[in-house]
Amino acid sequence: MAKRIDVESLNVYYSDFLAVQDASIKIAPLTVTAFIGPSGCGKSTFLRTLNRMHEVIPGGRVDGKVMLDGEDLYGPGVDPVNVRRTVGMVFQKANPFPTMSIYDNVIAGYKIAGTRKGRNELDDIVERSLRGANLWEEVKHRLNRPGAGLSGGQQQRLCIARAIAVEPQVLLMDEPCSALDPISTLAIEDLISELKTRYTIVIVTHNMQQAARVSDRTAFFNLAGVGQPGRLVEYDETTKIFSNPSEKATEDYISGRFG
Amino acid sequence: MTEPDPLEEELRSAGAVADEQRRAAPAPTRGPADPPSSAAGGSGTVRSSISGQSVRRGDRVFKGLAAGSGAVLLVVMAAIAAFLVWKAWPALFAGDANKGNLFTTQKWSFSSEGPSNFGVAALAFGTIVSATIAMAIGVPVAIGIALYISHYAPRRLATVLGGLVDLLAAVPSLVFGMWGLYLLVPKTQGFQSWLNEYFSWTYIFDNTRFTNPNQYGQSLLMAGIVLAIMILPVVSAVCREVFLQTPRETVDAAWALGATKWETIRTAVLPFGRAGMISAAMLGLGRALGETIAVALLLSSAFKINGHLTEKAGDTFASTIALKFGEASGTPLGIPALITAGLFLFVITLIVNSIARAIIARKKDFTA
Ligand SMILES: Nc1ncnc2c1ncn2[C@@H]1O[C@H](COP(=O)(O)OP(=O)(O)OP(=O)(O)O)[C@@H](O)[C@H]1O
Ligand SMILES: [Mg+2]
């Protein structure tokens, strides 16, 4: 089910501003890929091109190719809505729908798609997704309470549950743990390792240990200078990146000698 | 007649006061419960730097001001209510001086010698029906305009449209009334008779009196339509602002789940704006209920409850107050009866506002 992603020389723009230049990357199915790099180098921007969320921003556009199992996401006749149903996303800031209950948040994807399902089936989906996100035990007694009433870490796991409820083939995560305590972070890292058996996962993180712990491969993005576009500098096995990177910039960054 | 009636103005602001009052009311009562905050922070005795209470003059001044404003609002509210009841008293409890029943009689006639004969039934009917038509047409259109401006229109067009809507809000109601009377009414005679022809089964569009299109004219339907246009600007301006406040993250969440534009609006924007939309609708309703001059021009007074909306009949509280003020002072109950009409309008506004508040409060946990 999980799909592979091949990006070929992708340029990403905000109106006229080139944010990411000439990025190419091959992501194998059922792997975890980490994006690391200094702030503003275009990790989020690049990540959002993988499910066509980039073009939601006014002026956002790309040129180049993003292939999902050989099919160009930006090809003619491809509906971004279908792309986003296939490639799920979890954001840096937990964003449950404030007007919905925990239950409704989890099944939001089905409601949006207008999929008709019986109550029992929905109950199953909610339980399965919440268990998948390690949240079930904490919320099973208050599924009808507002999702926004949970703690930050719980909200983030709720968002993960919402993303996996619709069974995407790829899951993109933009700094999913940046606002979480070490325990929630660990819970989410464990979760990523579990989800890896079913989904292709791409995760942006500023936490080197996290990248080292959860990912199979790591991509290092960097900025050549202020006002310059971000570039994908190095992409390799995580162990290689963290032990013996080929690029000097990568080594400087991971050893904290950046800048 | 061209001036907005002062009484009507007062009534309308009373509606707004009623609104404010609920929010501000708790403020004064909270005062005494607070610990005294003065006399702390003084020197002399040995104190650690965090003991005692620092004097926050700004806080106290502001709290005083806020509580004071709340109290003023309460007093104004009570004063208006008391004034209305006091002045309406002779008509409210007219006894034998009123042959009719205050609530059920569909008449508005006064005499200086014998008993008068009046009741607010027709006025209440006209007020509620015209406001309902206005809301039924105006609010959905206003929400549509607001959504278009906030989420569909290209930025430049959105700015222009937003400006136009605001401009519409500045048009005096007299102009709307004249436009309705001299343009809309004659131009819609065909439409009204068409309604009668094809929709007479709905009862409300049935017209039992007219046989020829050019007999159609002033009617509750026309008043409702003009009111709908009059409430458009305020409702859509408020809704637009509310929709623009939808958090980016919430909208992104919907997009990322594969929502189309409309689905994003349905899952993120509209639920988020629910309370705001209700408040906006209430502002519009306030205007529709209290509108005087435009309605007075567009209705032909008959003091009869008539469910056939295109027939010539219809009075509202506000239009009656405006139209009957001149002759009212000639009879002992004329003015009290008009003030009674004002009192009813005041009470209706209060009830509607309370219902709206209750609806908003019901889902309070589920708002951002
Ligand atoms: N909505 C936007 N409009 C215009 N420029 C943007 C927008 N969002 C980001 N940028 C620019 O694109 C570049 C890359 O930003 P991006 O958010 O992808 O960085 P990032 O690597 O995710 O940084 P961080 O680690 O801080 O999240 C930056 O120069 C940023 O200023
Ligand atoms: Mg980022």
Q: What letters, b where the CB count within 10 A reaches 16 and e where it falls short, cover A166-188? A: bbbbbbbbbbbbeebeeebbebb
Which ligand ends up closest to the CA of A59?
Answer: 1
Give the list of residues 6+ apart from residue B260 with CB closer than 8 angstroms, or none. Answer: A81
Residue A39, ligand 1, Cβ within 6 A: yes
Instruction: Name the one residue in this structure whose structure tokens are 């149903």.
Output: A85
Residue B129 pLDDT: 95
Residue B364 pLDDT: 76
Share of chain B above pLDDT 90, in %: 59
Question: ipTM beyond 0.85?
Answer: yes
Q: Is the pLDDT of residue A107 over 50?
A: yes
Tell which wins on pLDDT, B45 or B151: B151
What are the chain B neighbours of A98 within 8 Å (beta carbons)?
247, 250, 272, 366-368
Secondary structure E strands in chain B: 108-109, 117-118
Residue type, A195: L
Q: What is the pLDDT of residues B193-248, one digit of tens each?
A: 999 999 989 989 988 888 888 888 899 999 999 999 999 999 999 999 999 999 99
How many other C-beta atoms can be found within 10 angstroms of the C-beta atom of residue A128? 16
Report residue A115's pLDDT band, with 50, 70 and 90 as the boundaries: confident
Residues of A near B (Cβ–Cβ under 8 Å) read: 51, 53, 56, 58, 81-85, 88-89, 91, 93, 95-101, 108-109, 111-113, 145-146, 148-149, 159, 162-163, 166
Q: What is the pLDDT of residues B59-85, one digit of tens each?
A: 889 999 999 999 999 999 999 999 999
Residue A43, ligand 1, Cβ within 6 A: yes
Q: What is the average pLDDT value for chain B, to the nearest integer? A: 85
Residue B40 pLDDT: 44
Instruction: Say yes or no for a CB contact (<8 Å) between A85 and B247.
Output: no
Domains, chain A, with CATH or none: 5-95+170-254 (3.40.50.300)
Q: Is the pLDDT of residue B39 over 60?
A: no
Phi-psi domain of B343 (left: phi exceeds 0; alpha: psi -120 through 50; beta: other): alpha
Interface residue B271 vs chain A (CB under 8 A): yes
Fold classification of B108-366 is: MetI-like fold (1.10.3720)
Q: Is the pLDDT of residue B302 over 60?
A: yes
* Tokens of residue B138, six digits: 């105006």
Residue B25 pLDDT: 41
Residue B19 pLDDT: 46
Q: What letters, b where the CB count within 10 A reaches 16 and e where it falls short, cover B46-78? A: eeeeeeeeeeeeeeeeeeeeebeebbebbeebe
Which ligand ends up closest to the CA of A37?
Answer: 1
Residue A163 · residue A148 · CB < 8 Å: no
